[in-house]
Amino acid sequence: MKLFMTGIGTEIGKTICSAILVQYFKAEYWKPVQSGDLHHTDSHKIAEWTDHAVCYPETYRLHLAASPHQSARTENIQIDLDCFQLPETENPLIVEGAGGLMVPLSDHRFMIDLIDLLNLPVALVVRNYLGCINHSLLSIMALQQRSIKLEYLILNGEFPIDTEKVICSFIEKETKIIRIPELTGTGKEHIKEAAQQLTITKL
């Protein structure tokens, strides 16, 4: 089982959801691009929040907390898709992207291109906010247009029933739904409890 974790935008809980899935599936973890916060990366957080997770080194570590293409440009670096190589492992693996599908890695390459290159199914993290329906459906459409499999739709937190109904009506029947309750914290105990309570269903 190998998954690419992406989201409908930034700051919607991708890393927390990645940690929960790492814990649930007893998976390893890889963040291909870390943009900013090099003193406390997403890999550091996964290691802190889960039980003995293996975290593979990032292909690109960029200092500026911005879009990867902008961060790379400030360091005179060009992000090259050919430099990314999926870690070789027989264990489950969670790969976490930066931001959403159309986050640019360069002027002409985007996160969705990296997903396509790695040939991984996707887990799409959705969080409730004004506009999340629009962002969710556009993300699902983008994956469908590229024939990228949406393995899991992750509903992170509480959702109005009408919002959830519209979003879930747009996915394929094969897509499984993961519901993650609202967390009261992000420590290891909270992540373990959420993993224990995680539910996976179908439409």
Residues annotated as catalytic are: 31
15 is annotated as contributing to ligand binding:
yes
74 is annotated as contributing to ligand binding:
no
Cα angle: 59, vertex 8, 11; to 5 degrees: 70
| Angle between helices 42-49 and 188-197 in degrees, nearest 10 | 70
User: Within its chain, how far is the Cα of 167 from the centroid?
Assistant: 18
Residue 170: CA count within 13 A, CB half-sphere = 20
Q: Distance (Å, rounded) from C-alpha 130 to C-alpha 136?
A: 11
Cα angle: 171, vertex 139, 135; to 5 degrees: 105
| Cβ atoms of 95 and 5 closer than 8 Å | yes
99 is annotated as contributing to ligand binding:
yes
Distances (CA, A) of 17 to 74, 94, 139: 30, 10, 18
14 is annotated as contributing to ligand binding:
yes
Q: Distance (Å, rounded) from C-alpha 123 to C-alpha 16?
A: 13
96 is annotated as contributing to ligand binding:
yes
What type of residue is 16? I
184 is annotated as contributing to ligand binding:
no
**Across the strands, what pairs with 60?**
33
13 is annotated as contributing to ligand binding:
yes
42 is annotated as contributing to ligand binding:
yes
Numbered residues of the known binding site for Mg(2+): 15, 42, 96
Numbered residues of the known binding site: 11-16, 35, 42, 96-99
Numbered residues of the known binding site for ATP: 11-16, 42, 96-99
Numbered residues of the known binding site for substrate: 35
